[in-house]
Every structure is written in structure tokens, then in C-alpha cells.
Structure 1
Amino acid sequence: MTTESSSILRQERDGAVLILTMNYPERRNALSLPLRAALAEALGAAMTDRDIRAIVLAGAEGNFSSGGDISSMEGVTGVGGRERLSNVHRLIRLLVAGEKPVIAAVEGYAYGAGLSLAAACDIVVAARDARFACSFNRIGLMPDLGAAWTLPLRMGLGRAKHIMLRGQAFGAEEAERWGLAEVLCEPGRALAEAVAIGQELAAVSPLSNGYTKALLARMPRDLEEMLRAEADAQALLFTSADFDEGRRAFLDKRKPAFRGA
């Protein structure tokens, strides 16, 4: 495993899996402006790195993220608020529509923007004692970081309204039952479980997963639009070297060696 550290975001490589660890423990990994910028930069680079097949997003010292850094919000104007969102929206676009799958490893708190960040990931692994809250209205804001798009798709409109409007905390068991978390694990095991899933995803065709993510990122859409987009993407995959390798490996009863081409 290789490691590249910065003061606010740690980067490690475990084979073809990139592990990004938010490192702002004194504020439970609150999403400060520098942390948001570092995440967007790291994700942008990872999406174009052919040696990276999957990404794990975690938080340091027992918490995923407590949400926005409220200490930095004093005196924000309308123009300033729009600029803050414009900057962080790049991060959300990379998580949702970037071609590499992203797994969130949630320990401790995923509150406010921390919940939104996890919801934008493709797969959420949560420790059984993790806590979630869509608590924006407790400070007079509305859910952001794409939550009004990701949560209804994950949970259904009614459940999304329930957690957004009430703003109450809930546990990992509810998160799994409601569609916010896909995998539960014992406390302290979320990162290891997420990396294991990342290794599984790294072994399949990156082209296939990339097109799948691109298609799903354009939800919701009507059936005809979806079928057209599906046909466009699948036609390209049929002509790819990865499909040829996957087909041959299946017939030869061996593991495929995908190249992402």
C-alpha cells in the first residue's frame, strides 16, 4: 500500500483502489472549503488515472463527516453562497457521474453535508453504530450537495421528505432499511469492508462500470430516453477490447484481464 498525505486529505493506494481519508478530526471531518477543494482535486485526478479502478471515501478518527464547517459560514452573502455551492457541485458531479465507482466507508457521524456526501457515493458501507442526520434545517438551510436528487432516488420521495423535513438523527439499521446504506458491518470495520468491495469492483471491466454510472447519473428520465441511452452505451461496449476479453475468458473458463479499452 502506498500513501500520500496532506494536512486535510490523506491518499493511499491499495492496488487499484484509491483510499481518500478526510482528515479534519478536531471538527469531526467537517467539510471545510479547503477539504472540499482537496476532495474535488483528488477525485478529478483519480477519474483520469487508468491505474485506479475504484475509490473509497472515509473519515479520520472514527467519524465520516459532521457536515458543513459552520464556523466558516458567518457573513456569507447570496453571491458568496452561490459560489460556495458552485465549487462543491464539482465534487458531487465527480462522485455521481465520474466513471470510477466510489464506496463510502461510514463510521461515527454522517450529518448534514456529510450525509449528502455519502449519499452521492455509489455504495455506502456503514458501521452498525454509525449515525446519520439530514440536519440542514436545524441551522436554517436546506439540504445541499445534491441531496434533493440523490436521496429520493435512493430512498423514495416519501422517505426522503421524512428525513429532510424532520432533520432527526437515525441509525445504520434504518439507513440500510431505507436505502441509504447498502452494507452494514461491525464498528471499526467500515474501511476494510469498503476496500474489499473496491477490490471486487477493480476486477471487473472499468468501461462497463463507467458507462453504467454515466447512464444512472442521468436519472430520472422517461423510458424511451433511457432505452436510447442504453442502446448507445451498449453498442460502444460491444466493440470494446474489454468485451472481447470478457467473452473469450468466459468461454475459456478463466479470469478476464480487463484493460479499460
Structure 2
Amino acid sequence: MSLLVEHASGLLTLTFSEPAKRNPLTPEIADALAKEIREAEASDLVRAVLILGSGGNFSSGGDLRAMPPADTIAAADRLRRYAALITTMAKSTLPMVCALEGTTAGIALGVATACDVIVADEQARLLFPFSRLGLFPDGGLIHGLASRVGPGRAKALLLVGDPVTAQRAYDMGLVDRLAPPGSAVALASDIARDLALRAPLSVGSIKSAFSDGVNALAPTLETERITQSRLYFSEDFTEGRAAFFDKRQAAFTGR
């Protein structure tokens, strides 16, 4: 298992670190990612998560050399572990940013679409190989992809399976920011550090509102009523309001 873990100034950085194999996303790596995110969620020290790959690639996805699993029981366990990671990411109140460089393929795109902000190197390629391999999209990718580009386009991407350039991914809304070659990590790091300074209650509430998909208008307005009524009287809003009028950086506490 190769996952580098770094903590600095409220930012948790998790880096896939098996560059010789283009950072495959194994069940063990999924377990480790989920564990780190859960621990960060419970900590007052972490305000944002940054997910990276090493060696110029984000992740090649599942390791074909380790497939198929030994039997259907092992297969179900493998998918359960991946599902636990994606669910942990989706339910976390921490903002998550990833930087896509080189190749991002298969289930790794499920991890990427579970992030809140996706930054891609202009030379990055996104690969959807499932129909070419005889496999089903995993890592919650049908949901994550459709939530970003719409069901029709998501279906076409997964069925046709052609490589997608970073520019095309940006144009269709799959990627949020493009970075010049070699600078995706720096840009993603800047965004993540900035998010780590935002009001945790506000950020967490926004994430929670989106975690189960966009609701109809009436439930959305009810969520606003409940959540905003609580945040009006938080210490963070008092601090944010004061910092706005004082023209300074707010120091949020999450209370």
C-alpha cells in the first residue's frame, strides 16, 4: 500500500504513491483514504483535503493484474470497500480538491468526481475503459459523472469509452479548473488552502445540501430555512461579518 499523508496548516494532503504502476487504486488504498478522511472529519485541525497522484499521473484506476477477485464473495468485499470510500467522501463536511495529471482512469475518476473541486493539467487525459474491458463503472462513477455533466453525456462517455482531453473535460463541466502543464498540483493546493480558511459550518452545510443530489425547490427552501437560521447565530458568522467590515481575513473556529 502506498499512500503518503501530510498535515499542514489545516490541510490534509493524501498522495497516491506508486508511480512505477501509475498509482493503482487498490482496495487497501481505498481503505486508507477513507480512514484518513474519517479521522480528519473528527479532528479540529483539518479544514480541507487535497488528493494527488505522484510521478506525473493521478491514478490508473483498478489494477487489472489483480482482477478478477478470487470469487464472488471477494468481489463483493472489494466493491464494498470502494463504496465505503466514495460514501465517506460524499458525506464528509470537509471540502475536497484533487489535481489530475497524466492519466486518470476507471475507478480513480469515481474518486475525482467525489471531490468538490477538480483541477486538471492541460495535458491530462481521462479514461473510461469499462465497455472496452467488459466491466461496469465503479467508484460511484455513474452518479458522480452524471451529477457533473448530465445523464445523457455521462452515458455516452461510459459507453463509447474514448479518451477525454482535459480541455474537453473542462468544456463539458467535468473539470472545474485547467492548469498550464506542470502546475495542476500548485493550483489545486492554492484552492485547497483557501478553502481551509473558509467558515467550516458554511462549507459543511453546502456540502451536505448537495450530498444526496439537488432537491426540488420546496425541500431546498426548507433546508435553507433550517440551516440559515442556525448559522445566523454562529460564532463564525459574527467573525465573518466583523472581518468583512474590518477588511481583514476572518479567523473561523467552526462554532
Task: Specify the TM-score bucket, using the shorter chain as the normaliser.
Answer: over 0.9
Gap runs ≥5 in structure 1: 1-6
1:3 maps to what in 2? none
2:191 maps to what in 1? 197
Pair 1:128 & 2:122 matched? yes
Task: Write the letter of the residue equivalent to 2:196.
Answer: A
Structure 1 segment 132-211 matched on structure 2, within 5 A: 132-211=126-205
Please state whether the residue corresponding to 2:164 is helix, strand or coil: strand
Over the residues paired in the alignment, what is the CA RMSD in angstroms? 1.4
Contact 1:17 1:195 in 2 (8 A): no
Contact 2:108 2:139 in 1 (8 A): no
CA separation of 1:79 and 1:183: change in aligned 2, threshold 3 A: same
Stretch moving more, 86-95 or 60-69: 86-95
Distance 2:248 2:69 in 1: 61
Please state whether the residue corresponding to 2:5 is helix, strand or coil: strand
Pair 1:115 & 2:115 matched? no
CA deviations on 1:35-89 (whole Å, 9 max, x unpaired) are 1111111111112221111111001111101111222222443333222121111
Contact 1:123 1:182 in 2 (8 A): yes
TM-score, normalised relative to structure 2: 0.95
Pair 1:259 & 2:253 matched? yes
CA deviations on 1:107-165 (whole Å, 9 max, x unpaired) are 11011111111111100010000000121222211111111111111001121111111
Structure 1 segment 26-65 matched on structure 2, within 5 A: 26-65=20-59
CA deviations on 1:212-253 (whole Å, 9 max, x unpaired) are 001011213222222222222222212211111112222333
Distance 1:75 1:260 in 2: 43
Give the fraction of aligned pairs with identical amino acids, expressed as a percent.
Answer: 38
CA separation of 1:75 and 1:228: change in aligned 2, threshold 3 A: same
Task: Write the letter of the residue equivalent to 1:119.
Answer: T
1:85 maps to what in 2? 79
Distance 1:214 1:167 in 2: 31
User: How many residues are paired up?
Assistant: 255
TM-score, normalised relative to structure 1: 0.93
Stretch moving more, 209-218 or 16-25: 16-25
Distance 2:226 2:73 in 1: 39
Stretch moving more, 79-88 or 58-67: 79-88
Please state whether the residue corresponding to 1:74 is helix, strand or coil: coil
